[in-house]
Structure 1
Amino acid sequence: MADEKPDIAWRVVGGLLGLVTAWGAKKILGYVWVKTTGKEPPVDSESDEVSMAEAIGYAVVMGVGMSVAQIVVNKTAKKRYTAWKALKTPKP
């Protein structure tokens, strides 16, 4: 496997998916934060207007939410890409 060339198409697709997923997850999690807390997400966690509990809570929600979104999207996309590539590869 070490001699195998990296699949450039997958690297491009994966990179773009990563960007889109991060942007979308941030928007969705920000929306959920506003609906749940009634406040805008803390922009500056060092501000005196943001409590430590709020800053930590937002960091945990964003960290877990972003990680879960990336895992789900990457695994699903990789599975579909591999299946699509198998269809295009001629069988011997």
Structure 2
Amino acid sequence: MADRGDLGWKVMAGAAAFAGGFVAKKTIALAWKKSTGKEPPTNPESPDVALGEAVAWVVVMGIGMEVARLLATRAAAKQWAKGTGELPSHLKVEV
């Protein structure tokens, strides 16, 4: 059974990843619109969306969301370590 610290970390990391993803999605959509002059595809699986556009959107969104999740989780880990004096156990690097 997870202890309270593990549960606290999971809640904090989940909230950080959610917030990071929300901001990333809005930012990526805005950048897509600015660079292409078009709204991003709402349903890239649709045959009505050009294949190149659908693939480009999925790649950009996938990479952008994962980078945002990584950065948000790292920032949360840094704050967690500041508050508790140590990183969550699964983030510690064995030397």
Could you tell me the TM-score, scaled by structure 1's length? 0.81
Q: Which residue of 1 aligns with 2:61?
A: 62
Distance (Å, rounded) in 1 between the aligned partners of 2:53 and 2:64: 16
**Greater C-alpha Rg:** 1
The one-letter code of the counterpart of 2:38 is K
Distance (Å, rounded) in 1 between the aligned partners of 2:68 and 2:2: 29
Distance (Å, rounded) in 2 between the aligned partners of 1:24 and 1:4: 30
State the superposition RMSD in angstroms. Answer: 1.9
Could you tell me the TM-score, scaled by structure 2's length? 0.78
Contact 2:17/2:68, CA 8 A, preserved across alignment: no
Q: Which residue of 1 aligns with 2:14?
A: 15
Unaligned runs of 5+ in 2: 87-95
Unaligned runs of 5+ in 1: 88-92
Identity of aligned pairs, percent?
A: 35
Distance (Å, rounded) in 2 between the aligned partners of 1:59 and 1:70: 16
Describe the SS at the equivalent of 2:25. helix
